[in-house]
């Protein structure tokens, strides 16, 4: 007689009805952390007084590194959603 229950037999198989696996959720969390890190690196650089201009606003970290991290984080998010694990 065949077992027709939806429970996995033996190993730890993922539920075939779930569109995302545990690895997908882990990659989503990593991508979210990279996006948050990019926005944290982008913050700051303002001056205390509106009469002063602070050139720290145009640092390499805020102009180059932070946007690259944000875009990379979104790329990881898209990959995490689209990747299918068997």
| Predicted model pTM | 0.74
Would residue 42 count as lying in a domain? yes
Asked if residue 15 is part of any domain, the answer here is: no
Distance CA 38, CA 32 (A): 10
In a domain, 4, yes or no: no
8 within a domain of the structure (yes/no): no
Q: Is residue 10 part of a domain?
A: no
What CA–CA distance (Å, rounded) separates 37 from 73?
9
The tally of domains found in the chain comes to 1
CA distance 82 to 20: 9
Q: Cα(82)–Cα(61) distance, rounded to whole angstroms? A: 30
Per-residue pLDDT of the chain (86 residues; tens, 9 = 90+): 555 555 555 555 656 677 888 999 999 999 999 999 999 999 987 777 888 887 878 899 999 999 999 999 999 999 999 988 87
Whether residue 11 lies inside any domain: the answer is no
Beta-carbon contacts of residue 26 (< 8 Å; ≥ 6 apart): none
Domain that holds residue 56: 22-82
């Amino acid at each position: 007689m065949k077992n027709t229950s939806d429970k996995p037999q033996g190993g730890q198989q993922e539920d075939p009805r779930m569109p995302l696996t545990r690895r997908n959720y882990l990659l989503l969390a990593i991508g979210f952390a990279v996006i948050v890190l990019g926005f944290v690196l982008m913050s700051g650089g303002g001056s205390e007084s509106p009469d002063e201009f602070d050139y720290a606003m145009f640092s390499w970290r805020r102009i180059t590194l932070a946007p690259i991290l944000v875009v990379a984080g979104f790329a990881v998010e898209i990959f995490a959603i689209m990747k299918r694990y068997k």
